[in-house]
């Protein structure tokens, strides 16, 4: 058999299993789809490192698509006069066969190379009584599961295989097409044995753009497992998995400011810590906003226990070195040729938020010592979307991307992100809240709905229950405040003080939905209200990060197609619904990308 030309990448130790242009030729030998046996037996640590680095390189090929497909189809991003046809068609759900963003080949390149590692790595090899290849093995398991998750979320049912395609016969086999729940049922049992075990993801030193610790180049096992459970409707296991990650499996940087000296929060993943929400000048105009919100989780220090980022993919600064992200340039251009913009609906949502501030900044807060501002809105939009005026230049800059980019000699932004983030701390809180609220609905348990809401407002009691293992830390509640925020605080101030507006009460629910005062509030109303606040928070906190459309799909699977159709069709404003797009999205088949 004649060996086909391989797709070689930096540090790859075996032929890459790239994949198809269409369903029929996905495993076609003529498309360089096959990895050949014995090119590399992965029998030593150097081979395992090189092979794993090769897979990480392949993740760069799908990184931009995570952002583009997740946002351009959603309700927070709109097109403009500069938008190229491929992006405009995605925005309008017109999926042409030649669209550059819809090819599944690169996803299966990642999957097949992970399959090769998983099936060929010698995990028994030991040094000083430590199995030295297990870390790379688990890393491949995690990446494969995460990649299959993205495929199934975006494409519906997809061909599933766990053995590497290395022969013509294997390339021509008829593989089963599975959905998210079915794939989760296959892969979760492979991941669970490694949760909380004595292993770590590889932490090689000196990897470009990966800081001093490369572990965040891999998707955390528990978060992938939790996402599979959440998408499958297994809300008990989803909640248990996210909660375990939040409270037990991540040692943090946050010290108590008083109390036992140098005592660490045991296993807590906090939100906050200084710059992680907009603390100063919050009642002023955008030109004086403290932009620390964006730099807090998009700084150069992307790894380590103090980082907001939990999974990242480094991108190259030059095409000579590999894949350069186009995401930042799509949203930001100093000559105003950017192709994607924040939607009017995003602006409406941000502006209607109520801001809460301590009435006396230098006085210890009490439950009555706050002021609500209805005219300031959520400050995150002002921090994310910055108006730049520099000499003759005037343009909008998306600070989430700018914080990861460099600058041109004239000081303007060079819109080339160094890395893209796929998991971060706030997302875990929000996914956990969603799972818990869905569990509350299943069990008819209103208390669980209130606990889900607390992850948005004030999570202390949920994460530090009076009778739990962390009970000893309860006396230091106020000392922990800046390191244990509800997600909503990041844009709306000291909302843990708010007793009238951002609460779960008949009055607040009636106000949110513009109910008549005499209309009774039911348990179903409460569940829907908490879920709507979670979805709002996903928009406010995770804007432009690639999750929005799939978040809407997941909620619409519970609440009906009208839910998603109405959100997306109202991009240009709640009073300006696109009826053509609305009617198209009432058909769930139009939510999924064509398999090509």
b/e per residue, 156-191, with b = 16+ CB within 10 A?
A: bbbbbeeebbbeeebbeeeeeebbbeebbeebbeeb
The total of other beta-carbon atoms located within 10 Å of residue 1's CB is 8
User: Which range among 217-231, 265-279, 430-444 shows the weakest confidence by mean pLDDT?
Assistant: 265-279
**Do the domain assignments include residue 292?**
no
Q: Mean pLDDT, to the nearest integer, of 219-232?
A: 96
Instruction: Supply the pLDDT for residue 157.
Output: 95
The residue segments making up the domain with residue 197 are 29-204
Residues 6+ apart with CB under 8 A from 596: 20, 21, 22, 23, 97, 102, 103, 104
**pLDDT confidence band for 168 (50 / 70 / 90):** confident
* For residues 309-337, average pLDDT: 84
Q: Which residue has the higher pLDDT, 372 or 270?
A: 372
pLDDT confidence of residue 289: 41
In-domain check, residue 121: yes
Answer yes or no: is 585 within a domain.
no
* Higher-confidence position of 199 and 439: 439
Buried b (16+ CB within 10 A) or exposed e, 561-584: bebbbbbbbbbeeeeebbeebbeb
* Overall domain count for the chain: 2
Contact predicate 439/235, CB 8 Å = yes
At residue 581, the 3 state secondary structure works out as helix
What is the model's pLDDT at position 360?
A: 64
Residue bearing the bigger pLDDT, 79 or 245: 79
What mean pLDDT value characterizes the chain? 78
Is residue 302 over pLDDT 80? Answer: no
Calpha distance 497→364 (Å, rounded): 12
Nearest to 322 by CA among 39, 64, 49: 64
Which tokens hold the place of 1?
């058999």
Contact 14, 162 (CB under 8 A): no
Does position 237 have pLDDT exceeding 60, yes or no?
Answer: yes
For residue 496, being part of any structural domain is answered with yes
Dihedral angle of Cα 573, 574, 579, 585, to the nearest 10 degrees: 100
Distance CA 543, CA 537 (A): 9
- The verdict on residue 154 lying in a domain is yes
Confidence (pLDDT) at 271: 55
Q: Which residue has the higher pLDDT, 55 or 43?
A: 55
Structure tokens at 529: 């209200």
Q: What is the pLDDT of residues 105-144, one digit of tens each?
A: 899 999 999 999 999 887 667 666 676 678 889 999 999 9
Exposed e or buried b per residue across 93-126, where buried means at least 16 C-beta atoms within 10 angstroms of its C-beta: beeeeebeebbbbbbbbbbbbbbbbbebbbbebe
Using the predicted structure, report yes or no on whether residue 388 has a pLDDT greater than 90.
Answer: no
- Confidence (pLDDT) at 536: 98
Asked whether residue 583 carries a pLDDT value surpassing 90, the answer given is yes
Residue 369 near residue 360 (C-beta atoms within 8 A): yes
Asked whether residue 94 carries a pLDDT value surpassing 50, the answer given is yes
Q: pLDDT-derived band of residue 483, with 50, 70 and 90 as boundaries?
A: low
pTM of this structure: 0.86
Contact 491/380 with Cβ under 8 angstroms? yes
Angle at 463 (CA atoms; ends 290, 358), nearest 5 degrees: 35
Among the ranges given (3-7, 105-109, 178-182, 209-213), the one the predictor scored with the smallest mean pLDDT: 3-7
Is the pLDDT higher at 143 or at 316?
143
Q: Would you state the pLDDT for residue 274?
A: 34
Please give the pLDDT value at position 582: 98
User: Looking at residue 535, what is its pLDDT?
Assistant: 98
- pLDDT band at residue 415 using 50, 70 and 90 as cut-offs: low
For residue 480, being part of any structural domain is answered with yes
C-alpha–C-alpha distance, residues 439 and 127, integer Å: 45
Higher pLDDT, 360 or 281: 360
| Residue 24 banded pLDDT, cuts 50, 70, 90 | very low
Span 545-576, pLDDT tens digits: 999 999 999 999 999 999 999 999 999 999 99
DSSP-assigned beta bridge partners for residue 355: 373
Which structure tokens are listed for 336?
């105003």
Res 192 pLDDT > 50? yes
In a domain, 174, yes or no: yes
Regarding predicted confidence, which is higher, 48 or 149? 149
Q: Which residue has the tokens 């979320």?
A: 153
Residue percentage of the chain with pLDDT more than 70:
71
347 vs 518 pLDDT, higher one: 347
Q: Which range among 42-46, 301-305, 309-313, 407-411 has the greatest average pLDDT?
A: 309-313
Select from 42, 40, 37, 41 the least CA-distant residue to 1: 37
Q: How far apart are CA 594 and CA 303, in angstroms?
A: 36
CA distances (Å), 588 to each of 129, 563, 564, 580, 585, in order?
Answer: 53, 11, 10, 15, 6
- Mean pLDDT along residues 473-501: 79
pLDDT category at 173 given cuts 50, 70, 90 is confident
Segment 393-414, tens digit of pLDDT: 788 878 777 655 555 555 555 5
- Average pLDDT, integer, range 249-277: 39
Q: What integer is the mean pLDDT of 467-475? A: 71
- Tell whether the model's pLDDT for residue 269 goes beyond 60: no
Residue 34 structure tokens = 């096959």
User: For residue 265, what pLDDT is reported?
Assistant: 46
Quote the CA–CA distance of 411 and 389 in Å, as a whole number: 11
Percentage above 90 pLDDT, the chain: 46
pLDDT of residue 164: 92
For tokens 């906090």, name the residue: 270
Residue whose entry in the numeric block shows the structure tokens 């949920």: 462
CATH number at residue 176: 1.25.40.390
Kindly state whether residue 450 falls inside one of the protein's structural domains: yes
């Amino acid at each position: 058999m004649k060996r086909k030309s391989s797709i070689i990448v930096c540090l790859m130790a075996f032929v890459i299993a790239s994949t198809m242009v269409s369903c029929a030729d996905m495993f076609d030998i003529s498309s360089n789809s096959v990895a050949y046996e014995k090119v590399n037996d992965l029998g030593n640590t150097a081979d395992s490192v090189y092979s794993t680095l090769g897979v990480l390189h392949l993740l760069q090929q799908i990184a931009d698509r995570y952002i583009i497909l997740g946002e351009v189809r959603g309700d927070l991003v709109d097109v403009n006069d500069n938008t190229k046809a491929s992006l405009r068609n995605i925005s309008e759900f017109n999926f042409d066969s030649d669209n550059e963003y819809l090819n599944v080949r690169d996803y299966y390149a990642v999957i097949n190379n992970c399959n090769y590692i998983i099936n060929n790595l010698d995990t028994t090899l030991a040094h000083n009584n430590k199995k030295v290849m297990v870390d790379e093995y688990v890393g491949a398991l995690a990446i494969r599961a995460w990649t299959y998750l993205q495929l199934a979320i975006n494409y519906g049912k997809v061909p599933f295989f766990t053995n590497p395609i290395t022969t013509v016969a294997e390339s021509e086999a008829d593989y089963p097409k599975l959905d998210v729940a079915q794939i989760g049922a296959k892969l979760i049992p492979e991941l669970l044995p490694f949760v909380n075990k004595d292993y770590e993801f590889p932490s090689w030193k000196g990897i470009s753009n990966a800081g001093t610790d490369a572990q965040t180049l891999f998707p955390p096992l528990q978060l992938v497992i939790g996402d599979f459970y959440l998408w499958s409707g297994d809300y008990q296991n989803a909640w248990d998995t996210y909660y375990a990650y939040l409270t037990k499996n991540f040692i943090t940087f946050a010290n108590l400011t008083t109390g036992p000296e140098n005592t660490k929060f045991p296993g807590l993943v906090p939100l906050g810590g200084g710059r992680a929400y907009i603390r100063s000048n919050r009642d002023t105009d955008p030109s004086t906003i403290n932009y620390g919100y964006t730099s807090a989780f998009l700084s150069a220090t992307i790894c380590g226990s103090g980082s907001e980022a939990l999974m990242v993919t480094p991108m190259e600064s030059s095409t000579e070195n590999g894949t350069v992200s186009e995401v930042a340039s799509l949203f930001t251009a100093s000559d105003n040729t950017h192709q994607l913009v924040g939607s009017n609906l995003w602006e409406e949502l941000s502006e209607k938020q109520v801001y809460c501030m301590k009435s006396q900044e230098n006085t210890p807060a009490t439950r009555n010592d706050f002021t609500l501002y209805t005219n300031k809105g959520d400050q995150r939009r002002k921090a994310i979307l910055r108006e730049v005026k520099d000499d003759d230049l005037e343009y909008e800059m998306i600070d989430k991307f700018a914080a990861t980019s460099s600058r041109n000699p004239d000081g303007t932004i060079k819109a080339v992100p160094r890395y893209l983030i796929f998991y971060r701390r706030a997302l875990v809180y929000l996914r956990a809240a969603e799972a818990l609220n869905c569990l509350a609905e299943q069990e008819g348990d209103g208390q669980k709905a209130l606990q889900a809401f607390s992850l948005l407002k004030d999570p202390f009691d949920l994460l530090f229950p009076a009778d739990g293992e962390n009970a000893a830390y309860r006396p230091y509640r106020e000392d922990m405040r800046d390191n244990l925020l509800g997600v909503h605080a990041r844009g709306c101030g000291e909302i843990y003080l708010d007793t009238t507006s951002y609460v779960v009460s008949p009055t607040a629910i009636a106000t949110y939905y513009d109910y008549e005062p005499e209309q009774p509030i039911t348990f179903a109303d409460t569940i829907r209200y908490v879920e709507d606040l979670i979805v709002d928070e996903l928009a406010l906190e995770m804007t432009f990060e690639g999750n929005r459309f799939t978040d809407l799909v997941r909620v619409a699977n519970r609440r009906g197609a009208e839910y998603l159709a109405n959100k997306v069709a109202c991009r240009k404003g709640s009073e300006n619904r696109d009826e053509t797009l609305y009617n198209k999205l009432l058909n769930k088949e139009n939510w999924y990308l064509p398999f090509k």
